[in-house]
Structure 1
Amino acid sequence: MATANSTASRIPKKTVKDFKFIKEIGSGSYSTVFLTIESATNREFAIKAVRKDLVTKEKKTSQVVREKDILARLTNCNYVVNLYCAFQDDKTLYFGLTYCPNGDLLQYINDSGHFTEEIVRFYSAELVEALEQLQNRHIIHRDLKPENILLSDDMHIQLTDFGSGVIYDNSESLFQTDNSKSVDGERKSIKRTNSFVGTAQFVAPEILKRGAIHVGSDLWSLGCIIYQMTTGKHLFRGGHEYDIINSVVRASYKLPDDFSPVIRDLLQKLIRLEPSERLGTQETGGMKKLKEHAFFSEFPHDTKWGQLLNQRSPLEAKHKLSSRPQISDDEVNI
């Protein structure tokens, strides 16, 4: 596996002058995303422009650096936006990323109200394969939600926004390596500096409580996303964010009486307070065990693991951000 440094060395050297900035397609607290066209190749890219002054003011420098390192490590990962290039000028950092013209998964959930079980199964399976690829590269996303799941030209998922992510090295365990035991005989999790990130409805309780970093955090988010795809609603709800957070940290939720039994069982195995107890973690048998769950293997809907990208998505594209625009004097000035 290539290291972040070796991968980064293969990223092309570019400047602003290599791209035509067409239009703004997204924005955040300290960044703006543009649809661009590379002049030399006529290829479309999404360029994330990060203002250095705002990053410094909001003390997000380490977060921006971490996101670049994660994207560099995930180059050529099938289910993640690819980092094509990274460059800077005096005021701005630029990340050239895969352009996903079909918007994000949330748009489709909102438009349809909820997905059919076939669509839920397909995108849940792609998310499982995506998380497996992240685990293989020792990365935890920690802010997985429908808004951060973009859709490619052929409607397959592309994860984005790794600003809250973490990398844990090959030699680094998420648990203590001296086999020390707590009073109840369980291995103690390493406590690390952690902060609340993401949207409360999807963030795992250990993140909200600034607890241990664990791959199980992404599996909790997977469960929340599966519920939203199935019902069109959030699993954890409340009149105020305080109420939502209280429900999350207690894993307090209620499934509808007519909820699919097989999806109910899957959610009950993913939405567990202890990260190590969530289906898909090393402690529960790994991603192999998650893939064997009846939701993915129940006849006649056996999921074709490893072949999902070759299958046609059951969701039709309808949210093209734009067709290729006509180049004119109205291009965005950077």
Structure 2
Amino acid sequence: MPTSQPVLKQSFLTHLELAFRATSTPPAVVAVDPAASQDRALWDPGSWRSMGIFEPAFPDGMVDPFKLEEVEHLGAGGFGSVTKCRVIGFDKYVAVKRIKKCLPEEQALASLVLEVHVLLLMDSCSAVPDVHGVFETKEAFYIVMDCGQQSFAELPPFDRYLAQVYSAQLAGVVWAMHAMGIIHFDLKPANLILDDNYRLQVVDFGLVDVFDGDEGPDPQQWPVWHALRAAGTDSFPMLWPGDDNPHFTRARGGTRGYRCPQAQMGMPCSYAADLWALGIIMHKWYTNKNPTFEENVWHYDREDDLSTIEIDFFTKIFSCEHPVRFESWEEISSHPIWVLEIETECESASEDDDSASSE
């Protein structure tokens, strides 16, 4: 018996154990006045706690930067680096992201504020690291966050079951980000980590774009957008740039091999930019190889041993044209790819038992 759409969607939500659905107003970032900041902390941790933004993991609510002991270098980019540190006096490790002030200080500060803003917006989501402090020196800004166990780029190939589980978890956090008005623009295995409970977390929000605010755009200019938001369905937000979607931008960067065609050509992008990267990552997890494209059209390799359902999913997620492409998270979450193989086997066994009983 075919599975109904609502059951498929529930399967998706159940198996990824989505920790967050955006229904409340996101907290505003605390205003920063660099000229007035005499302390090494850019924000008073007490004001963070009073805003209810995060539950402090340390007695004073913020990690003391003088109690951080460097353990290992985790990675580096054009304007910063990430280091794993031990918090002296606590059985805990943290990741410290360093943002160099090689840019004009206003630009470096804006980058810092945007990244911390996103981390605070996603504070209710367990798939995004918690913030434990924001500091500065003469040379750089620092963000202290949870530190995962290992990057997904360092993990061995997955079997099909793990590919399904972690794909569902990744799709869930991308959905949650989009619901909060966040486009990541740099999803890749190196920006995914395992937390202490072996669950997936997304890191590195240095290239994000954020559309937030209570009122949104002018209702008279964007009536369809407001109608979809008011309906409260998973057809919102709209994934693609268009005449009815005010949430579009141009990517400021990204990683080669994961950027969507629109970003590569400098065209306007919306939330669907993250879907292309999601598809690339999932294809690697399902087949242990990169997908093959010819003029941005995905070509299925029979050696990849994908099911009809999986082929249908990748065809849609790698399509930028209507009517083949996914138009909403409603369509994505209802796709049968999210039904785990072990679940299907259990259902088949149950049906066999029922047949035997009836005989």
The TM-score, its normalising length taken from structure 1, stands at: 0.72
- Report what 1:28 is aligned to: 77
After superposition, the Cα gap between the structure-2 partners of 1:191 and 1:80, relative to the gap in structure 1 and judged at 3 Å, is closer
Asked if the contact 1:193/1:210 (under 8 Å) is kept, the reply is no
CA distance in 2, matches of 1:191, 1:215: 8
CA distance in 2, matches of 1:34, 1:99: 9
Residue type at the aligned position of 1:171: E
After superposition, the Cα gap between the structure-2 partners of 1:86 and 1:94, relative to the gap in structure 1 and judged at 3 Å, is same
Larger gyration radius, structure 1 or structure 2: 2
CA distance in 2, matches of 1:228, 1:202: 12
Name which of 290, 304, 319 aligns with 1:272: 319
Alignment of 1:159-174 (within 5 A): 159-169=202-212, 170-172=214-216
CA distance in 2, matches of 1:293, 1:118: 17
Residue type at the aligned position of 1:3: P
User: Is the partner of 1:87 in helix, strand or coil?
Assistant: strand
Alignment of 1:213-224 (within 5 A): 213-224=269-280
Residue type at the aligned position of 1:224: I
Deviation at residue 275 of structure 1 after TM alignment: 8.7
- Report what 2:138 is aligned to: 90
Residue type at the aligned position of 1:253: W
The yes-or-no answer on 1:45 pairing with 2:91 is: no
Alignment of 1:172-211 (within 5 A): 172=216, 177=222, 187=243, 189-190=245-246, 194-211=250-267
- Report what 1:318 is aligned to: none
After superposition, the Cα gap between the structure-2 partners of 1:230 and 1:75, relative to the gap in structure 1 and judged at 3 Å, is same
User: Is the partner of 2:104 in helix, strand or coil?
Assistant: helix
After superposition, the Cα gap between the structure-2 partners of 1:204 and 1:126, relative to the gap in structure 1 and judged at 3 Å, is same
Asked if the contact 2:63/2:132 (under 8 Å) is kept, the reply is no
Name which of 276, 290, 297 aligns with 1:252: 297
Alignment of 1:302-317 (within 5 A): none
CA distance in 2, matches of 1:220, 1:40: 43
Name which of 143, 150, 153 aligns with 2:196: 153
- Report what 1:242 is aligned to: none
Deviations 1:74-126 (A, max 9, x none): 2241111222211112222111111112x211222xx33xx322111111110
Asked if the contact 1:32/1:48 (under 8 Å) is kept, the reply is yes
Asked if the contact 2:80/2:97 (under 8 Å) is kept, the reply is yes
Deviation at residue 196 of structure 1 after TM alignment: 4.7
Q: Mind listing any 5+ residue stretches in structure 1 that lack a counterpart?
A: 181-185, 238-246, 303-334
Q: How many residues align?
A: 276
Asked if the contact 1:194/1:210 (under 8 Å) is kept, the reply is yes
Name which of 72, 95, 115 aligns with 1:67: 115
User: Is the partner of 1:118 in helix, strand or coil?
Assistant: helix
Q: Mind listing any 5+ residue stretches in structure 2 that lack a counterpart?
A: 1-23, 31-44, 55-60, 226-241, 345-359
Deviation at residue 134 of structure 1 after TM alignment: 1.1
CA distance in 1, matches of 2:275, 2:96: 29
Name which of 263, 268, 285 aligns with 1:212: 268
CA distance in 2, matches of 1:62, 1:86: 13
Asked if the contact 2:222/2:246 (under 8 Å) is kept, the reply is no
After superposition, the Cα gap between the structure-2 partners of 1:136 and 1:89, relative to the gap in structure 1 and judged at 3 Å, is same
Deviation at residue 50 of structure 1 after TM alignment: 1.9
CA-atom RMSD, angstroms? Answer: 3.2
Alignment of 1:129-148 (within 5 A): 129-148=172-191
Name which of 262, 268, 274 aligns with 2:309: 262
CA distance in 1, matches of 2:247, 2:129: 30
Residue type at the aligned position of 2:271: V
- Report what 1:325 is aligned to: none
Name which of 284, 289, 309 aligns with 2:331: 289
Deviation at residue 264 of structure 1 after TM alignment: 0.8
The yes-or-no answer on 1:116 pairing with 2:159 is: yes
After superposition, the Cα gap between the structure-2 partners of 1:220 and 1:92, relative to the gap in structure 1 and judged at 3 Å, is same
Residue type at the aligned position of 2:253: V
| Percent identity for Structure 1 against Structure 2 | 20
Deviation at residue 62 of structure 1 after TM alignment: 3.5
The TM-score, its normalising length taken from structure 2, stands at: 0.67
